[in-house]
Amino acid sequence: NQKCLKVVNQGNSFDGHEANCQELAKQLAPEGWMGNLVSFHSQHDLDVAGAVCRTVLNYSDGCSGGYGCRTGLSFDGESAFFSDGSTVDYLPTSQTNIWGETFAWNEGQEQCAQLADNNDGADCNNLRTFANGGSCSSGHRKNKGLCQISPVHHIPNTYCRYYAQGGDLFNCSTGADFNEVWQRCIDDGKNACMGVMWHACTGEHSDTTVPGSWKLMTAGQEVGDAENPSATCGGKGQAIGMWDVYVRSDL
């Protein structure tokens, strides 16, 4: 998937940097793009992430010395997650990092993963975990954040089957924030939520920068468009110019 990477060159917690990434997307990207801490799905992805992180750190020893960039990978004590909702399908378990550690989760502990050097070079393309009470919540200056800003598939004037709803079509004071709704979809998982239907409470109904009304789309359905509806996505006849669909890019 198309995405760009940017380092937030200041210390923050995992949640703090995730919020920073969401704000960066609002500031730097076109409407319909989302910001999260970086995810990776191959060693190549880690190599690219490490190259960006190391360049911005401007540290001769790469990610050693405690310096590194937070990724979107975390562990709740039982399962691992990426903050963008994508599948955790690659971990560098066959390599040791600069600290002599082989990547592994500690069962029963909340942990976050940060880029670290491999044991064979200063390239920031391995991982290190931190348990609760340490760097998951720490805003230490060495804990930089590596953000990814990526597009969401936007389909205008379409209305699909949904399983939850909220916000207000007409009153911004009681409307919802799109990023918060999107995060709820991510948290529900792609087997439950495939995207968000959205209507802004003011201006263009597709505007995701203002509060609005929302519906979480039921996973597994075929998504048509305004002119070519599917069995459960009724197109412009049901959307009647009031609803747009934003589909997850990790399906």
CA distances 51 to 59, 123, 171, 173, Å, are: 12, 7, 46, 43
- Compute, in degrees rounded to 10, the torsion defined by CA atoms 177, 182, 185, 190: 170
User: What's the pLDDT tens digit per position in 94-147?
Assistant: 777 766 777 788 888 888 998 988 776 668 888 888 654 446 887 777 788 999
Residue 184 CA from chain centroid, whole number: 12
The CATH superfamily label for domain 4-151 reads Mannose-Binding Protein A, subunit A (3.10.100.10)
- Find out whether 106 and 136 touch, Cβ atoms under 8 Å: no
Domain map (residue ranges) of the chain: 4-151, 153-247
Q: What integer pLDDT is reported at residue 190 of this predicted model?
A: 85
**How confident is the model over 162-206, as pLDDT tens digits?**
999 998 777 778 889 888 898 899 889 889 999 999 999 888 888
Task: State the pairing for strand pair 162-166/110-118.
Answer: unpaired
* Global confidence as pTM: 0.72
